[in-house]
Structure 1
Amino acid sequence: MIYKGIYHLFYQYNPKGAVWGNIVWAHSTSTDLINWEPHDHAIYPSQPSDINGCWSGSATILPGEKPAILYTGINPKNQQVQNLAVPKNLSDPYLREWVKSPKNPLMAPTPQNHINASSFRDPTTAWIGPDGEWRVIVGSKLDARGLAVMYRSKDFVKWNQVDHPLHYKDGMGMWECPDFFPVAKTGRKGVETRVYGSQVKHVLKVSLDDTKHDVYTVGTYNWQKDIYVPNKGSIESYNGLRYDYGKYYASKTFFDSQKKRRVLWGWVNESSSVDDDIKKGWSGVQAIPRAVWLDASGKQLIQWPVVEIQKLRNNKVKLTNEVLKKGSIVEVKGVTAAQADVEISFKVENFKKAEILKPEWKDPQLLCSQKGTSTTKSGSVGPFGLLVLASNDLKEYTSVSFRVFKGQHKYVVLMCSDQSRSSLNSNDDKTTYGTFLDVDPTRENLSLRSLIDHSIVESFGIKGKGCITARVYPTLAIGDSVGLYAFNNGTDSVTITKLTAWSMKKALIN
């Protein structure tokens, strides 16, 4: 959230180790979303309603610019209940001390409400309706049905459960960390959570506990009936729209009232083993915050790194109109390849030899894995893209690439992020990730942006239509022994119309 010009990030933290457990709310602040200063823990176990852990939740700005936090606590019976905390001193822009409500818990499982006491967590940012009542949803499940359990309140303290969920879906399992917010139908500006009407659509995001993916739908919210209906044709399953098709989970947005934008935070989880996490002393990190808005099609969100990240750019290098023939690998020199921001655009001239997309090729991740994205396999149109965090001998690299197929009525673009050769450490996860992109490659160049930061590669295809985050731990491609390359392993040539890369300075972080 933002309060008195200061950005606040609260996050789940284990002060006793690099593995999950002993959860408290850590707290850091920033003036630019990039450089952060840590503070003492904001919320930690101290009441019966949270004595066994202070789990996830969300902040809401109440009338009079008064922040409030709703969060999940674990009580002595190990039940999940919802609690309230407010700042001790509203004049402190850093909000360094928080006071818990003596009426906690405000929402709890009972025999009467039939809420699953072990699956009732992560209240989202609350919103107030035109009727003056607050609403909030909490993630839950009933058997295999994912639920957005809904509560209403007139005073933000006494909450009553609505007799139906805001939304549900069978077969999806537990809905963790739900997020529900409006987006303007046109333009890139964000809107406050309480905005309604014909000028906005609504987004419901849920984090799937079974698969550890964040999926979302765009739809319509009826505040009179408190019902959310996804757009016609929406896919509500593991195969639906995702914020990110790689290592990215438990995300949350907030409305930045200072810059009139909606900002997305996400957790990059690990590819290393638990033993390796313990050895290195840490696990997990926050992704670079992203601005999000509705695509002109109205079908999906666009995501792009917040503009403030550009203040870390340094040592700009450019390349234009470079033809990449089959098998070409061109090194991008002049940047610190272990910590870089790269934007590249490809033009494809010849689509006649594009491989036919078979009807059974519906899973982009599986297709990326089967077809391969490295320079060891070739196709007709692609793969072409970037080799990042590459060792000098190319024994280690992570490839981010495009491949074009001939569909039934149009060309289909596949974006892949391949971790299979990212590290010689056999204990690391080496999954290949992928997504199809909504783009016509005959009319538009294929653009890619990758933010590279030692063990993380955040990639944005077609100006943010598809995002894939990789978490890798090279053993050779470290320090000064890291290379950055553009490559083409397709049958026909492609042209780099423009490549711009920057070395990135180090941000101030915890």
Structure 2
Amino acid sequence: MTAVTATTPDAFRPAMHYAARDTWLNDPNGLIFHDGLYHLYYQNNPEGSVWGNMSWGHATSADLVTWTEHPVAIACDEQEEIYSGSIIFDRHNTSGFGTGSRPPLVAVYTSAFKPASEHKGVQAQSLAYSLDGGYTWTKYADNPVLNRGSSEFRDPKVFRYESDAERYWVMVAVEAQDFKVVLYSSPDLKNWELLSTFGPANATGGVWECPDLFPVPVDGDPENLKWVLTVNLNPGGPNSGSAGQYFVGDFDGVTFTSSSTVTEGAQDPDKLCEYQWLDWGRDYYAAVSFSDVPDGRRLMIAWMNNWQYAIEIPTAPWRSPMSLVREVSLQNVDGNPRLVQHVAQELTSLPAGNPPFTASPGEIAEGKHILAGAAGSVQRIEASLAPGTAEEFGLIVRGHGTRGTRIGIRPAEGRIVVDRRESGQTAFHESFASIDSAPIQPTANSYEVTIYVDQCSVEVFAQGGQVTLTELIFPNSTSTDVSVYASGGAATINSLTITQYA
């Protein structure tokens, strides 16, 4: 279950989430399942615990639970920093980097050119290839392969598009400050032609970054296929700072057409809560999906941090974890297709450290009530709660007494909240001690929540994964209590089970 063991004691190192051993990481890159392993590449400073010297770190896992960290995969040099991008398995060797019997993995990444380069100040797209399964990489001699002369053109996600008539590679990238997704096609990954653009649309409160585009069946029906375009932005999220939004629509091989756009052009602040967000929390950014996942599952992972305070979170010698891997699907919700997210099934079957705690159904009286026998620092909490007269009710996790991280429902407001003002260490940045919220409606007069609690985070999945909130927290190691609470009246526990992992 443990990702990477630190060489020195570290109370905040996650047990269920990946974090680099002793360096900085941010955006996940190059996500692919290949030769029986999930490959997670990521933005990495191999020389320190703050942003800089951008290179691609690398980790692998056979089960999305235990990760092995490898040496830096693609390193920066005097000419360029290696910004975000993606990896494809060029199984037909269209690039010519391999052979028919030994096809290559090809990384398409953003070269952020330094003053020593003839392309100084430009961000352009480049290639590297691997013939040993993704462990060592060779940069293409004729990089960059796509240069718009822009200082903000980045984050290519590449996939294979196939129809009855055509087959080619599609690149989805951004002109970050123009709030625009740009799509290109190529027969060989080296020569690219513009297909179309998308945006500005919906949230434009910060630069657009790290796009992704993929097909998903609605309600599992392969005859009802929709395309999902994800775009991360910084700042401009629904609860301030970094966040990711998505659009649902159609892609014909040339143009993405959204059916879920609320605002064209500049963002309307009054419509912020009407946009579709990948996650309503403060710490789910740069989310992208894995390629070539078995059984056609669409799995995503994100950087679990926020650019508002990213370099100041109190972890050492590492800084920043990844989110848990999530499987995403589309479901009709009130007549519209919406993303629904669940933790990948591999993570739901983690072996428990102790027998689960189960609370008896019953009333939550007004006040805060510690659950005897429920304490823990790494947990999965599954709760069904019903409103009564309470103005707010829910759970408090990683607590000391009745202080801790509060996850509550406010029925009259139609909101779920995560309050981390008393979550532990918060003073390292003025914006960290926050109350963050998302819209929520009851199902059959109850609220269903699943909460994954780790050493420095909570990930909340509500109403069957229709709403998610991801938040960093930094509690004391002794803060392990779990409580239920109600304010302004009473509420009801329908069911409550807590699985302990550590």
Q: How many angstroms apart in 1 are the aligned matches of 2:220 and 2:488? A: 37
Hey, what does 1:244 align to over in structure 2? 279
TM-score by length of 1: 0.79
Matches within 5 A, 1:107-506: 107-110=146-149, 117-130=150-163, 131-141=166-176, 145-162=178-195, 164-169=196-201, 172=204, 173-187=206-220, 199-211=224-236, 212-223=242-253, 226-232=254-260, 234=262, 237=267, 238-239=272-273, 240-246=275-281, 247-255=283-291, 257-269=293-305, 276-277=312-313, 280-297=316-333, 298-309=336-347, 310-315=349-354, 316-327=356-367, 329-348=368-387, 350=388, 380-392=389-401, 394=402, 396-405=403-412, 413-423=414-424, 425-428=426-429, 429-437=432-440, 439-441=441-443, 443-474=444-475, 477-479=476-478, 481-491=479-489, 493-505=490-502
Deviation at residue 181 of structure 1 after TM alignment: 0.8
CA 1:124–1:273: 2 relative to 1, 3 Å? closer
Q: Is 1:81 paired with 2:114?
A: no
Q: How many angstroms apart in 1 are the aligned matches of 2:308 and 2:455? A: 14
Q: Is 1:55 paired with 2:56?
A: no
Q: How many angstroms apart in 1 are the aligned matches of 2:314 and 2:449? A: 34
- Percent identity among equivalent residues? 26
Q: How many angstroms apart in 2 are the aligned matches of 1:185 and 1:255? A: 20
Q: How many angstroms apart in 1 are the aligned matches of 2:260 and 2:315? A: 49
> 1:240-296: CA deviations, max 9, x gaps?
111111111111112453243111101111599678558733321101111110123
Q: How many angstroms apart in 2 are the aligned matches of 1:427 and 1:278? A: 7
The answer to whether the 8 Å contact 1:272/1:473 transfers is no
> 1:159-208: CA deviations, max 9, x gaps?
1223x3144438725310011111111229xx9xxxxxx52111111111
Structure 2 gap segments, 5+ residues each: 1-31, 93-102, 237-241
TM-score by length of 2: 0.80
Structure 1 gap segments, 5+ residues each: 111-116, 192-197, 351-379, 406-411, 506-510
Q: How many angstroms apart in 2 are the aligned matches of 1:382 and 1:70? A: 51
CA 1:436–1:154: 2 relative to 1, 3 Å? same
The answer to whether the 8 Å contact 2:364/2:492 transfers is yes
- Please identify runs of 4+ aligned residues in structure 1 that moved more than 4 A: 235-238, 270-279
The answer to whether the 8 Å contact 2:384/2:447 transfers is yes
CA 1:461–1:275: 2 relative to 1, 3 Å? closer
| Aligned length in residues | 434
Bigger Cα displacement from structure 2, 57-66 vs 444-453: 57-66
Q: How many angstroms apart in 2 are the aligned matches of 1:151 and 1:233? A: 22
When the two chains are superposed, the root-mean-square deviation of aligned CA atoms in Å is: 2.5
Bigger Cα displacement from structure 2, 16-25 vs 59-68: 59-68
The answer to whether the 8 Å contact 1:18/1:278 transfers is no
Deviation at residue 470 of structure 1 after TM alignment: 1.3
The answer to whether the 8 Å contact 1:147/1:174 transfers is no
CA 1:171–1:418: 2 relative to 1, 3 Å? closer
1:30 is aligned, of 55, 58, 61, to: 61
Q: How many angstroms apart in 2 are the aligned matches of 1:270 and 1:219? A: 28
CA 1:333–1:262: 2 relative to 1, 3 Å? farther
Q: Secondary structure at 2:158's aligned position in 1?
A: coil
The answer to whether the 8 Å contact 2:390/2:486 transfers is no
> 1:123-158: CA deviations, max 9, x gaps?
01323242122211111146xx31111211111211
Deviation at residue 339 of structure 1 after TM alignment: 1.1
Q: How many angstroms apart in 1 are the aligned matches of 2:386 and 2:499? A: 22
The answer to whether the 8 Å contact 1:343/1:500 transfers is yes
